[in-house]
Amino acid sequence: MVRVRRLIKVRGLVQGVGFRPFIYRLANIHSLSGWVNNNLEGVLIDIEGDCREIGSFLAKISSAPPLAKIEELEIKELPLKGYGDFRIKESLLDSTNFTLISPDIATCPECKEEMNNINNHRYHYPFINCTNCGPRYSIIESLPYDRSVTTMKNFTMCEECRREYEEPGDRRFHAQPNACPECGPELWLTDYRGKKISEENPLKQATKLLKRGKILAIKGLAGFHLACDAGNQDTIKKLRNRKRRPVKPFALMMKDIATVKEFCYLSTEEKEILTGRRKPIVLLKRKSGIPNNQLLAGISVDNNYLAVMLPYTPLHELLFNGLESKQGEKEITVLVMTSANTSGLPLEYTNQGAVTRLERIADYFILHNREIKIPIDDSISRIILGKEQLIRGARGYIPLAIRFNGLKETLACGSHFKNTIALAKGDYIFLSQHLGDLSNLESYQNYKKVIGHLEEIYQLNPQIIAYDFHPGYLSSRFAETRQGKRIKVQHHHAHIVSCMVDNQLNKQVIGLAFDGTGLGIDGNLWGGEFLICSYAKFTRVGQLNYLKMPGGEAAVKEPWRMAVSYLYHSYGEQLLLFNKLIAVDQGEIKKIIRLIKADLNSPQTSSMGRLFDAVAALIGLTNFISYQAQAAIKLESIASRKARGLYSYQIEDNDGYFVVSTIPLIKEIVEDLNSGIPIKVIAGRFHNTIIGFSVAICELIRDNYGIETVTLSGGVFQNEIILKGIYQQLMLKGFEVYLHCRIPCNDGGLSVGQIVIANYQEGV
Ligand code: ZN
Ligand code: ZN
Ligand code: FE
């Protein structure tokens, strides 16, 4: 036997995921001595023993627990020290480096089983968790991750919990949020004013209230939800009124997979994500034509998808247990579970804040005393072309650490809509959770708070500040207040680079950046752009034709204005002959024409999103919208996928600069409308046309510039028909095509692009 000693540094997601207990058990199996601890860089293992045993110990490290993700393993030889046993040492605070934080994890099967076992002392305990599940990021105050720096520090573990926590063989060994009914957080029910209702079993009472059609605000893992019976039309109506949310779809929580299958089509991949440990909201195609869909009539209007998640905390599980039918009562298997906030404000996450601001929305509150440090929404995900694509990154996914070599300490301030921020240091980009639209003071304050929090836990003091070109964004104004080197990044360049980073591409690419708006370098509002991009630079080589956006922002909320603008662009004053096409007063239409002609508050735009708006209004789908991209979503939802043919388009070639003229497209849509072609066919052909000219321009760019790698980015690529259509046709034509996966294609991904562009412009 040859005795040796090794020092092993493990970097990656190795804290708060049961990694140290795993190492402890492994060391014992191989009769090794020494110690393991958490430090700011990750996990450090100092180990002594038989050379061969150490060899097999090292070989087994890679089979770490399911939540761990090892990114780097460094092994050093050291002189023998003569350790007697193997222990887990207290955390050290002696490094200036950092480690990765685990996202919050949905309840694991073992905990679920214990919770339903009447003989277990955690029977029906809504805060049950273990080394493999429970809150993480949402309760962390600083690093390294330890109970004393989480919001669980206020609870002193009882003897039994402490024993589990300290017993290396226990499945709760060093589970920082460990708790039981004796010593842990508790739950209570209040009325709409926050007055406690004495109730032996608040959850049982809550399920009765849900059955009676009440709206409950429920404090969850990382924020509040508003919950109610999804099958109760009156309650849904009440919720829509109180929340001032007339049509935007609500997220649903379904009891189990069997329930999901009742309402939605479900692929194997979708099922995997739904039931996995992250448990995001998954966008699922709703089944049509079955009577059950009537039940969900008010949930998701004008939309082919339902936003579905499964219970992901013990509390959710207990709620559904209580909603089972007893003595012939009706059973509830689907709950609305929508983020609890007042219109446009950030997610509520404190007891006090929720009660103050939601009293007019919720009939009752379920509160608890485990504090949430930082609010995090539910993530939204979907499967497209067989792969997961994140649309909103939040609980379960965030903080997302993206490996990228050689970055300076950087803060990227993100965009205006669907804001996220990102921080960088060394070999990582850290992407924040979805922070929403920065259109009011409350959201802005939350934004600043999250930046401060993340800078603190990662111990960063960024000297490079990257932000959007648009001076009006609050995120840009925030950037102006920061010390350091400030670097402005063009919106669509950032979109494309975010997609490149998502796919680890570092070469010149053709970038199709299709979205609502982003400020261009010529001062116009871009959004239907064909770019040639590298990390440092971009060249615009194609666009949708410019036209006026009458009334600026008003044209976003009122798609009919864009319809008028497109008709004017195509027919001039003659458009008045078609006035019947838009169900708006002739006088109003004339007003818009005057705005366009006088060039009053009517910026030029090449936005693809606005073209969708215009067509949706033109074919009579909607003149006004109440949430972002509503018109486009409706247009996609009615589009016939069997529609053949496409409308004409014209591509002007100005020495390798390609401009799509939409005039023939608009004129042929008008002709189809006049000859009574069904609008679902028109919508289908419209989609085909976008796909057609996009692919045609890619071919022209390939011919002119010799690039055949294409990346697709921007919010318009949430449209499944467009995404799949362009992807498939480009592949058939021999292009290499890349889509988003972990980084959202909408403005939620922008901060990642900003980080990388700023670093490259600074010369990394
Ligand atoms: Zn568990
Ligand atoms: Zn306890
Ligand atoms: Fe955008």
Query: From the CA of 417, how far away is ligand 3's center (Å)?
Result: 8
Query: From the CA of 203, how far away is ligand 1's center (Å)?
Result: 21
What is residue 576's predicted lDDT score, i.e. its pLDDT? 78
The Cα 687–Cα 693 span in angstroms is 10
What average pLDDT does this structure show over 640-658? 95
The Cα 559–Cα 762 span in angstroms is 41
Query: From the CA of 181, how far away is ligand 2's center (Å)?
Result: 6
Query: From the CA of 518, how far away is ligand 3's center (Å)?
Result: 6
Maximal CA-CA distance, the chain: 96
The Cα 288–Cα 294 span in angstroms is 10
pLDDT digits (tens, 9 = 90+) for 658-667: 999 999 999 9
Residue 94's pLDDT band (boundaries 50, 70, 90)? very low
CB 714 within 8 A of CB 517: no
pLDDT digits (tens, 9 = 90+) for 194-251: 999 987 899 999 999 999 999 999 999 999 999 999 999 999 999 999 999 999 999 9
CB 355 within 8 A of CB 194: yes
608-618 and 559-571 helices cross at what angle (nearest 10)? 90
Q: Among the bound ligands, name the one nearest to the CA of residue 112.
A: 1
Query: From the CA of 55, how far away is ligand 2's center (Å)?
Result: 39
Report the percent of the chain where pLDDT is more than 70.
97
Query: From the CA of 471, how far away is ligand 3's center (Å)?
Result: 15
Res 95 pLDDT > 60: no
The Cα 669–Cα 660 span in angstroms is 16
User: Minimum mean pLDDT among 130-134, 605-609, 717-721: which range?
Assistant: 130-134
Query: From the CA of 115, how far away is ligand 1's center (Å)?
Result: 10
Q: Among the bound ligands, name the one nearest to the CA of residue 748.
A: 3
Q: Which residue has the higher pLDDT, 107 or 92?
A: 107
Q: Among the bound ligands, name the one nearest to the CA of residue 125.
A: 2
DSSP-assigned letters across all residues of 51-115: HHHHHHHHHHHTT--TT-EEEEEEEEEE------SEEEPPP----S---PPPPPBPPPHHHHHHH
pLDDT digits (tens, 9 = 90+) for 325-355: 777 777 899 999 999 998 789 999 999 999 9
Residue 93's pLDDT band (boundaries 50, 70, 90)? very low
The DSSP element (H or E) to which 274 belongs, if any, is helix 268-275
pLDDT digits (tens, 9 = 90+) for 699-719: 999 999 999 999 999 999 999
Which of 142-156, 188-202, 287-301, 741-755 has maximum average pLDDT? Answer: 741-755
Res 96 pLDDT > 50: no
From the centroid of its chain, how far is CA 587? 43
Q: Indicate the SS3 state at residue 116.
A: coil
Query: From the CA of 162, how far away is ligand 2's center (Å)?
Result: 7
What average pLDDT does this structure show over 664-675? 95
Res 189 pLDDT > 70: yes
Query: From the CA of 114, how far away is ligand 1's center (Å)?
Result: 9
The reply to whether omega before 744 is within 30° of 0 (cis) is no
Residue 364 vs residues 138, 226, 368, 719, 763: alpha-carbon distances, Å: 24, 10, 13, 38, 56
Query: From the CA of 163, how far away is ligand 2's center (Å)?
Result: 9
Query: From the CA of 728, how far away is ligand 3's center (Å)?
Result: 23
Query: From the CA of 129, how far away is ligand 2's center (Å)?
Result: 12
Q: Indicate the SS3 state at residue 201.
A: coil
Query: From the CA of 160, how far away is ligand 2's center (Å)?
Result: 6
Query: From the CA of 398, how far away is ligand 2's center (Å)?
Result: 29
Query: From the CA of 120, how far away is ligand 2's center (Å)?
Result: 12
Query: From the CA of 747, how far away is ligand 3's center (Å)?
Result: 5
pLDDT digits (tens, 9 = 90+) for 347-402: 999 999 999 999 999 999 999 999 999 999 999 999 999 999 999 999 999 999 99
The Cα 103–Cα 662 span in angstroms is 45
What is residue 91's predicted lDDT score, i.e. its pLDDT? 61
Query: From the CA of 726, how far away is ligand 3's center (Å)?
Result: 19
Hunting for tokens 């939309």 — which residue is that?
Answer: 303
Query: From the CA of 543, how far away is ligand 3's center (Å)?
Result: 15
The token duo for 314 is 């013990």
Q: Among the bound ligands, name the one nearest to the CA of residue 152.
A: 2
What is residue 184's predicted lDDT score, i.e. its pLDDT? 97
CB 280 within 8 A of CB 273: yes
Query: From the CA of 749, how far away is ligand 3's center (Å)?
Result: 9
The Cα 563–Cα 151 span in angstroms is 52
The Cα 129–Cα 401 span in angstroms is 24
Res 322 pLDDT > 60: yes
The Cα 87–Cα 588 span in angstroms is 77
Query: From the CA of 117, how far away is ligand 2's center (Å)?
Result: 17
Q: Among the bound ligands, name the one nearest to the CA of residue 277.
A: 1
Q: Among the bound ligands, name the one nearest to the CA of residue 108.
A: 1
pLDDT digits (tens, 9 = 90+) for 410-449: 999 999 999 999 999 888 999 999 999 998 999 999 999 9
pLDDT digits (tens, 9 = 90+) for 53-83: 999 999 998 888 777 888 888 999 999 988 9
The token duo for 285 is 């195609």
Query: From the CA of 421, how far away is ligand 3's center (Å)?
Result: 14
Query: From the CA of 175, how far away is ligand 1's center (Å)?
Result: 9
The Cα 238–Cα 241 span in angstroms is 5
The DSSP element (H or E) to which 756 belongs, if any, is helix 750-761
Q: Among the bound ligands, name the one nearest to the CA of residue 495.
A: 3
- Which contacts qualify for 470-476: CB closer than 8 Å, 24 or more apart? 470/416, 470/518, 470/519, 472/416, 473/415, 473/416, 473/438, 474/416, 474/438, 474/439, 474/444, 474/447, 475/413, 475/414, 475/415, 475/416, 475/419, 475/421, 475/438, 475/447, 476/413
Q: Ramachandran region of residue 131, left (φ > 0), alpha (ψ -120 to 50) or beta? A: alpha
Query: From the CA of 591, how far away is ligand 2's center (Å)?
Result: 70
Q: Is the pTM of this model over 0.85?
A: yes
Q: What is the mean pLDDT of the chain?
A: 93
Q: Among the bound ligands, name the one nearest to the CA of residue 178.
A: 2
pLDDT digits (tens, 9 = 90+) for 454-490: 999 888 999 999 999 999 999 999 999 999 999 999 9
From the centroid of its chain, how far is CA 760? 26
pLDDT digits (tens, 9 = 90+) for 502-545: 999 999 999 999 999 999 999 999 999 999 999 999 999 999 99
Q: Among the bound ligands, name the one nearest to the CA of residue 114.
A: 1
The Cα 446–Cα 435 span in angstroms is 8
Query: From the CA of 700, how far away is ligand 1's center (Å)?
Result: 55
What is residue 99's predicted lDDT score, i.e. its pLDDT? 63
Res 293 pLDDT > 70: no
Listed in sequence order, the residues at least 6 apart from 118 whose beta carbon sits closer than 8 Å to its beta carbon are: none
Q: Among the bound ligands, name the one nearest to the CA of residue 161.
A: 2
The Cα 738–Cα 712 span in angstroms is 6
Query: From the CA of 569, how far away is ligand 1's center (Å)?
Result: 61
